[in-house]
Amino acid sequence: MSRIYGYLRAARKQVHAIEALEKKADPKKPSYSSTMIQAFIHAHLYFICWAAIGRMIEVVRRSSGLKAPHGVWKKHRKTLNSYAAARDHFEHYEERLPGGKRSEKLVNPSDYGNLHHGWFSLGGYRWDVSKESLKKLENIVAELDANISREASERRRGQRPVTFLSTNPA
């Protein structure tokens, strides 16, 4: 969990940096493209944080023997995988450019990366990089932590998890 929390702290820094750069960006000023490139770099780092947290949930799920991580992974898999795909797009950006081996998989091949109102797009795909997406990530991590803590506590006490469908009072 400490590694997950480390990436969550890094994700917070990236969102704040993206937000500040987006506010600063003015298409009419010569520094616009360098400001946006910096914002794209922070978006890339943000996607890395999401992907790393998703991979660490997988590690905890496989190695802990607890059921809680599997439930969190299953519930949030689509979102986690979406941000992992964003990371992949950035890691292999040159392959998405015209003539690149993955350029044909893009919805909009002329979208080389845009940031608008907290949304980053690349190739016609879009990802939220605003405080709203950060809140989602924080909630996933908090849910994981709470569920792991609850299940571990129940195991330490030798209690079975409570199921409301059971008619057995034991």
The structure tokens listed for 70 are: 């599997």
Higher pLDDT, 161 or 165: 161
Question: How do residues 1-42 score in pLDDT, each as one tens digit?
Answer: 999 999 999 999 999 999 999 888 877 776 768 888 899 999
pLDDT of residue 164: 37
The answer to whether the CB of 80 falls within 8 A of the CB of 53 is yes
* Over residues 107-124, mean pLDDT: 81
Strand segments, DSSP code E, in 64-139 are 114-116, 119-122, 125-128
pLDDT at 148 over 50: yes
pLDDT at 170 over 80: no
Question: How do residues 46-98 score in pLDDT, each as one tens digit?
Answer: 999 999 999 999 999 988 888 999 999 999 999 999 999 999 877 776 766 66
What is the β-pairing status of strands 119-122 and 114-116?
antiparallel
User: How far lies 126's CA from each of 17, 59, 67, 139, 141, in Å?
Assistant: 19, 27, 32, 21, 22
User: How far lies 111's CA from each of 65, 80, 86, 101, in Å?
Assistant: 43, 23, 14, 16
Sheet holding 125-128, edge to edge: 114-116, 119-122, 125-128
Question: Who's near 111: CB < 8 A, 6+ residues apart?
Answer: 121, 122, 123, 124
pLDDT at 103 over 90: no
pTM of the entire predicted model: 0.83
